[in-house]
A and B are shown apart, each in its own frame.
Chain A
Amino acid sequence: MTGTLLFQSLVLGVLLGGLYALLAAGLTLYFGVMRVVMIAHSAFLILAAYLAWFFHQQTGMDPMLSLVITVPLFFAVGVGMQRLLITRLRPATITMMSVLLTFAVALFIEGMIGFVWGGTQRRIQLPYSGDSVSFFGAQIAVVKLIAFGLAALSLAGLYLLLKHSRFGQALRATIQHREAAQLIGIHTNRVAGFGFGIGLATAAVGGTALSLDATIYPSLHWHWIGPLMAIIVVGGLGSIPGAAIAAMILGIGQSLLQVPLGTTWAQTIFYVALFATLMLRPQGFFGGRLAQRF
């Protein structure tokens, strides 16, 4: 591997890792707030990607403008899904049962995408789709930079919201001790609903970022859910910073392995990391006590 190729892979790995971090943030948030394993998260990502593509098809405008519609829409769907479906599950078995429930939701979304837009592969063609910029000798596609920028902005926003807003404090209190949060006057069910909505809103942004640089088809979400689950387990279930660090490391690892192993085998890094985590440190590498409580 030449120095330039290595550097190119490294830069692409960072960009990929940033996107993974956004895609996994919602997934780890659901688990942190409600102990819900949300198999349908990647199906919502693909749905957002389809909506971005459809928006571009219909209006001819930049697919990123679809965020104005999809982010509030996904937030509302998330709140509704938590209120109407997730709260029906018994708290004692919520983690296991949520796998089944959200598996069904994922199948439903996949079916609906196929029903509405057909099974054909789709790809957004933009004036800047083929453009790239040179960065110290590495060629970086503009769409990848944009996707990374979207991810970085959303994660920074999520961080500020959780760390510094009144709602964020209430959400973190609910995650850390639900009963104590109720007793200081926090409406934990409402907060959990908004938390779920925010998780799904990140799927809207992630899906749109993904749509800029991917060929999409209805069953694509099965390809994504495995790596995303691996990322949140490695990062420590429920920990957003943990997921971000794990996403970055695995993204860079995948990108570097693509050169000697090819894309298919490079993908196995997620599963190797998953098995290694479960064997050596089941609570995850970066999650800390939050994950241990479970």
Chain B
Amino acid sequence: MSEPIPAPQAPSGPAHSTGNLLELNDIQAGYGRAAMVLRGLTIKVPAATVVCLVGPNGAGKSTVLKVASGLLRPRSGEILVGGRDVTGQGPQEMLSSGLAHVLQGHSVFREMTVAENVLLGAYTLRDKAKVAERVAFVQHLFPIVGERWKQLAGLLSGGQQKQVEFARSLMVSPQVVLLDEPSMGLDPKTTATVFEQVVRMRDAGVAVLLVEQNARRALETADIGCVLDLGRVHITGPARELLDDPQLSELYLGGRPAESALRKEG
């Protein structure tokens, strides 16, 4: 590992002109009266980049995405999208600022057709020409969506449902897509397809913040990797370098990350 950057980083000044599409600065967040899950977390997602969050179970990976998409309000810290402060806004406002969130597990509307699912992705759009243009775009990006257009989404395979969810989230032309464990429950071949789609999204100009249990596979796809532990980012660096680091591999990409991380922290 060349240059591990210790976290939390000092909050930077005014965020405009940093080139980051999404910035979470010094976020503290938790659920109800339970202890904080995120404790001073800072993450930056530049344009057309895949940033991958890895870390042991319970490190707060999914919570980061919930805070970013407005499902969970942070107790403190700031959220910037394209340099604009959107801290404390709900999911609807976050969506209109250019953030789309694809949830963990299956979140298609099972009793609706693929067409209804994808068109509901454009729920906030009123311009019919724009919607038609986006439909053509997502059908081109995810051919399976066009092929299964009239079928009930709940009847598709796990990997196909994931692509419908991706397509749905891209209907509003988001700047940043948050992906929560897209490979969960998928076989290795389908996982490979899903990661290829992640790369295609990036190549189409979308920034991706990816959370993955399958850390090694995710870091192979990502440009930047962040290692999250106990609610903070411990290391940020080029994904390739994190993969090649033997110590990190032992701690986070091997089989027993949680205990070793805790020992290290203690």
Interface residues, chain A, CB within 8 Å of chain B? Answer: 166, 169-170, 172-173, 176-177, 179-187, 288-290
A30 to chain B, nearest CB (A): 18
B2 to chain A, nearest CB (A): 37
B91 touches A183 (CB 8 A): yes
B92 touches A182 (CB 8 A): yes
Stretch from B44-52, B118-126, B134-142 forming part of the interface with A = B118-126
Given known A-B contacts A170-B123, A289-B110, A179 and B92 have beta carbons under 8 A apart: no
Q: How far is the CA of A152 from the CA of B198 in the complex (A)?
A: 49
- Tell me if B195 is interfacial: C-beta within 8 Å of chain A: no
A185 touches B92 (CB 8 A): yes
User: Across chains A and B, which 3 residue pairs bring their CB atoms closest together, nearest first?
Assistant: A185-B124, A180-B107, A176-B109
B92 touches A290 (CB 8 A): no
- Tell me if B232 is interfacial: C-beta within 8 Å of chain A: no
Residue of A nearest to B171 (CB): A184
Q: How far is the CA of A94 from the CA of B108 in the complex (A)?
A: 24
A192 to chain B, nearest CB (A): 15
Interface residues, chain B, CB within 8 Å of chain A? Answer: 69, 71, 90-92, 95-96, 100-101, 103, 107-112, 116, 120-121, 123-124, 154, 165, 168-169, 172
A173 touches B120 (CB 8 A): yes
Given known A-B contacts A173-B120, A289-B154, A183 and B109 have beta carbons under 8 A apart: no
B residues near A187, Cβ cutoff 8 Å: 92
B residues near A186, Cβ cutoff 8 Å: 92, 123
Given known A-B contacts A184-B123, A185-B91, A185-B123, A173 and B71 have beta carbons under 8 A apart: no
A172 touches B103 (CB 8 A): no
A residues near B100, Cβ cutoff 8 Å: 183
Q: How far is the CA of A183 from the CA of B121 in the complex (A)?
A: 9
A residues near B124, Cβ cutoff 8 Å: 184-185
Q: How far is the CA of A187 from the CA of B165 in the complex (A)?
A: 19
Residue of A nearest to B107 (CB): A180
A183 touches B112 (CB 8 A): no
A residues near B120, Cβ cutoff 8 Å: 169-170, 173, 184
The 8 listed contacts between A and B (C-beta, < 8 Å) are A166-B123, A169-B120, A169-B123, A172-B112, A179-B71, A182-B90, A184-B123, A185-B91
Q: How far is the CA of A173 from the CA of B121 in the complex (A)?
A: 11
